[in-house]
Every structure is written in C-alpha cells, then in structure tokens.
Structure 1
C-alpha cells in the first residue's frame, strides 16, 4: 500500500511546493488537537489525502473520518506572500458555545475566522460548524482550548467508525505530519 506510484508522485509534487511546510504544520495542528493517538488510528479511522482531485485540484490535503471531511486545506486562487493556504475544520458547535463569555459569542471573539453552518455533514449530526480561515489562523485556533476541545469531541464520535477514504491515505504525507520522516535537504 505504501508503494503506490500515483500517491508517491502526488507527494513529490506537494513536497516541492513552496507551501509544503504550511500544509504539514496545519495538519499537525489538527491531529494534535483532535486525535488522541493518531498513529494508532491512521488509515482505518482517519485518512490523509495528498493533492486530491476534489474541487478542481485546488486542495493540498484532506483529513477524512468516516464519510466526512474534517480538515481541508486549499490553494488560494490568487496567492499573495504567505496567504496561499486556507481551509476549514469541522468542530462541535455546542462546545464552542460553552466557552463563550462576557456576553460575546465565539464568533465575536474570533473575527478573523468564518463560521459556516451550511451543508452539514450527516456523520457529525446537527451539532457541527465548519470554520474557515488561513492556515496560520486555523493553527492558532486549534491551539486554543475551545477549538481543540470542539475538534476532539467531534473526532471522538467519528473515530469509532472506519473511514471510507482509507484507499486515499497518503503514507508519505502522513509520515511528515506525524514526524516519522524527514525530507532530505536539497542541494542549493
């Protein structure tokens, strides 16, 4: 399974992309926040695809659990400096509401993020919200307790099942994200 030439080619293309480090860092932040033992549940309960063809090939990566996308990173159509990587994370909305304080909702406390309640995923039930942002905003949010707990609670309900995207799991990208491999330095 690890020697799939198409997956190796996709990983090589992503690894050569100037935004590769951002993609790795953002996926690390998601798995750190949401999945208690990612290596133990990899491929069977969550899958990480690399350069999937979904959305016209604008995706860098997608983390799937059961039948849903929980963390997706896109290439912005008109990148400017460090703003080429954006995406979304799906979390439990009720958890975020618990953390609202001082009469302000979680959205007012995080004005740089976009909260999208449209098109809910069936596997997550009604208690979900998709949060959009640039990669660094998503990393910062996932480092905060409200978002980490909200991501972890949603993931806990999904990790009990098997993902239907196991065949798309890219071990080379997962190795980078999970810290199992280091790319060799290229001669400059």
Structure 2
C-alpha cells in the first residue's frame, strides 16, 4: 500500500494540520465538481493524503479520471508569507463563458488574488487552466465574480467520461470518509472568509 493511502498518513495529517479545515477544503471541491461523489469514488475520482508530489508539501490531491482535479498545499519556504494554498483545475471555455471575459482579462482583473496557469498535462487536451489562491477557512473562496464551480464541474465531467480514475491505488479511504461525512452535513456548517493575497508562482 502506498503511504498516501494509509491510515498512518491520515493520522499524521490530523496531527500536523487542522483536519476540519483540510476536510472542508476537499469537500468544497468535491461538492462543486463531482456530480455523484459517493457513487463514483475510486472508480471516477480518488483522494490521496499527504502525497509526495510537486513543489511545497501537499495535504491532499483529488484525482479525477486520468489527472488531478485539485490539491491543497503548504506555501513553499521561499515565499514571503505562510499558510495554505488551494489549486483547482477548471474548464477554460466554461470559465470564460460564465464570466463573459477572456482568460487574459481575468488574469489582469484578479492578478492580486489568483494565480492562473494553463494546464500542461496532455490529458487536459489544452482545455484546462489551474486557479490557485490562499486558504482562509473551511471552503474554497475565490473572488466574487470568478465562478470556479461550474468550470470545475464541467472539466471533471469530461475527465470522468474519458477515463476511470488511474490513481485509485493512492486513494485514502479514511480521508475520503471524512469528506463524505462533511458532504452530508451541508454547506451551512462551512465557515470561511475571503481575504486578498499576493500572487504566487
């Protein structure tokens, strides 16, 4: 069993971080992007716990189909502030249609709050971008006027239609159960506050 799939990593997550915040952020993405999370867990999507992937230390990665859909991570040591970041992948055309603005306009408009990046993995087929912002509560909060949820859902639907989850061997069932339990409680328990943050790279 991979470390990210173990109960040990789940317990370590709770020891090192605020589990309610981490679970709330994961639930926020799953609720927005995955149409039937309980019916499709492991087959369509999975969640890994403290995966050893990428720059900074990841707390979780939600994988959708053949790629990642979102991940929460600690701000790298060379940044000029501390805390957590959340990165979400969305469908570019849906985001542009929802906002009525081109990607370049959105990048300029929200440059102080959100880091935009074109998704490079070939499975994204040039249709996706990632949005990264700082975490200040138990749900994902992008600036008002940037409706990430429909764009995340559109991308996730496409990815799950194209491929089963290829990262299910990294799935952490303990963390997933927490996410599913939070999903039952409803969004009224989510407490979050959006504050501006510096652009990260």
What are the ranges of 5 or more consecutive residues in structure 1 without an aligned counterpart? 182-188
Q: What secondary structure is seen at the aligned counterpart in 2 of 1:48?
A: strand
Whole-Å Cα distance in 2 between the matches of residues 22 and 29 of structure 1? 10
> Residues 32 and 6 of structure 1: is their aligned pair in 2 closer, same or farther, counting only changes over 3 Å?
closer
Task: Report the CA distance between 1:106 and its aligned residue.
Answer: 2.9
What are the ranges of 5 or more consecutive residues in structure 2 without an aligned counterpart? 184-201
> Residues 143 and 102 of structure 1: is their aligned pair in 2 closer, same or farther, counting only changes over 3 Å?
closer
Whole-Å Cα distance in 2 between the matches of residues 173 and 122 of structure 1? 28
Task: Report the CA distance between 1:12 and its aligned residue.
Answer: 0.3
Q: Provide TM-score, normalisation by structure 1.
A: 0.80
The yes-or-no answer on 1:169 pairing with 2:171 is yes
Name the count of aligned residue pairs.
177
Residue pair 1:10, 1:50 contacting (<8 A) in 2 also: yes
Task: Report the CA distance between 1:102 and its aligned residue.
Answer: 8.0
Whole-Å Cα distance in 2 between the matches of residues 92 and 5 of structure 1? 27
Partner in structure 1 of residue 67 of structure 2: 68
The yes-or-no answer on 1:155 pairing with 2:156 is yes
RMSD over equivalenced CA pairs, Å:
3.2
Partner in structure 1 of residue 187 of structure 2: none
Q: What secondary structure is seen at the aligned counterpart in 1 of 2:181?
A: coil
Q: Equivalences for 1:16-95 in 2 at 5 Å?
A: 16-55=15-54, 58-78=57-77, 83-95=82-94
Task: Report the CA distance between 1:68 and its aligned residue.
Answer: 0.9
Task: Report the CA distance between 1:28 and its aligned residue.
Answer: 0.7
